[in-house]
Structure 1
């Protein structure tokens, strides 16, 4: 099934489910930041 994102789309269909999301900022002692690339939004 193809997935489509409706970011700020006024014509988007009504939501029918809730997805849990978490954000975090991780920095080490050398001031480096851990970053990830999500596969669902690149």
Structure 2
């Protein structure tokens, strides 16, 4: 994981989001998982 705190890059801290696996596990009685998508890259510019 990479996090840049440059003045020209306005971004959120990586800790701003909950772990998606933990969130989905907590909701397992409400959902049926059909597919799992994983982010492989995030490009901002």
TM range (shorter): under 0.3
TM-score, normalised by the number of residues in structure 2: 0.21
What's the TM-score once normalised by structure 1's chain length? 0.21
Structure with max Cα Rg: 1
Structure with higher helix content = 2
